Amino acid sequence: MVERVGMIGIGAMGSAFSGHLLKSGFTVTGYEPDSGKRDEFREAGGIAVGSPAQVVAASDVTITSLPTMQALHDVAADIAANPTQGAVIMETSTMPLEDKQKMHDTLASVGVTLLDCPVSGTAKQARDKDLGVYLSGDETAHKTCIQVVEAISRAHRYVGPFGNGSKMKYVANCLVAIHTAAAAEAIAMGVKGGLDAGLIHDVISNTSPAASSAMFKLRGELMVDGDFPAQMPLALFKKDTTVIGGFGRSVGAKMPLFDQAEALYAAARENHPDEDIAAVYTVLNTPD
């Protein structure tokens, strides 16, 4: 029975995870370099400690949600230097597979099991408990984590050996990138043709299931409003698209649609780096 959960990284996603875990009755111990986020975590009922290794030592299962590859390696180094034998860690970030594999091997050498468990969804979906989780790695350890996963997500699947979770996330994010750009292109075309953007969104979302998509519904609303509060900022999404493109090239995949979409996101990033990826619409819906 898992009663104590660790949270390393308490940003947009990590704070949503810890909130659900606390509401579910788990004791949650966390580490976060940002003092403001630490204070919010304490106010919500979490126990803040001074290092990643201390989180792992206090927890039955630990979740990591990290912003950069450097953070991933720093966390791995701290835990490896002060290991808790038999610990299980769920790594939920979107990172290059080789970096996750390095973390896995580093921790395995000191008796710590790392699972590759990226999540599919935005920060808002994380707050709404509307995420998918792709679990991969040691199957026995994965079963230990089921209670935790069910507390933070809508759906989860075990997808096989370590690394398959990241590969599945690359597939998912490839589709997110293409679907969002496709939604922007279609809405912009309709607007250019004289249709109201709100009418397009309403009609396609509610009467054309074969044409609509989750991204059309979710991010199409932002395009209609012309306001793009960040669920996934364009600047941050660059990390994900770089990872996806790198993986695709490494396996020899042909990705013409993804490459075209990434070119549109690059153009949108120039003026809207801190806004949601739905701001790709501004590149396509330009004045005549």
Indicate if 92 and 17 belong to the same structural domain: yes
Interval 233-272: pLDDT, tens:
999 999 999 999 999 999 999 999 999 999 999 999 999 9
CATH code of 75's domain: 3.40.50.720
Q: Classify 221 in phi/psi space as left (phi over 0), alpha (psi -120 to 50) or beta.
A: alpha
Predicted pLDDT of residue 122: 86
- Mean pLDDT computed over every residue of the chain: 96
Predicted pLDDT of residue 31: 98
Interval 135-163: pLDDT, tens:
999 999 999 999 999 999 999 999 999 99
Predicted pLDDT of residue 52: 98
Q: Give the pLDDT band (50/70/90) at residue 79.
A: very high
| Token pair in block for residue 191 | 């607007």
Predicted pLDDT of residue 124: 86
Indicate if 156 and 171 belong to the same structural domain: no
Indicate if 81 and 15 belong to the same structural domain: yes
Indicate if 101 and 177 belong to the same structural domain: no
Indicate if 145 and 257 belong to the same structural domain: no
Indicate if 64 and 150 belong to the same structural domain: yes
Last residue in a domain, options 103, 132, 161: 161
Indicate if 235 and 172 belong to the same structural domain: yes
Predicted pLDDT of residue 233: 94
Q: Residue 88: which residues within 8 A CB-CB, separation 6 or more? A: 60, 61, 62, 112, 113, 115, 141, 144, 145
CATH code of 235's domain: 1.10.1040.10
Indicate if 118 and 230 belong to the same structural domain: no
Indicate if 150 and 172 belong to the same structural domain: no
pTM value is 0.93
Cβ neighbourhood burial of 236 (10 Å; 0-12, 13-18, 19+)? middle
The domain total for the chain is: 2
Interval 200-235: pLDDT, tens:
999 999 999 999 999 999 999 999 999 999 989 999
Last residue in a domain, options 161, 194, 225: 161
Indicate if 126 and 148 belong to the same structural domain: yes
pLDDT for 196 beyond 80 = yes
Indicate if 218 and 155 belong to the same structural domain: no
Domain region containing 277:
167-284
Q: What is the mean pLDDT of residues 166-170?
A: 97
Q: Classify 13 in phi/psi space as left (phi over 0), alpha (psi -120 to 50) or beta.
A: alpha
What is the CA 26 to chain-centroid distance, rounded? 22
pLDDT for 28 beyond 90 = yes
Last residue in a domain, options 129, 161, 193: 161
Predicted pLDDT of residue 97: 95
Indicate if 175 and 62 belong to the same structural domain: no
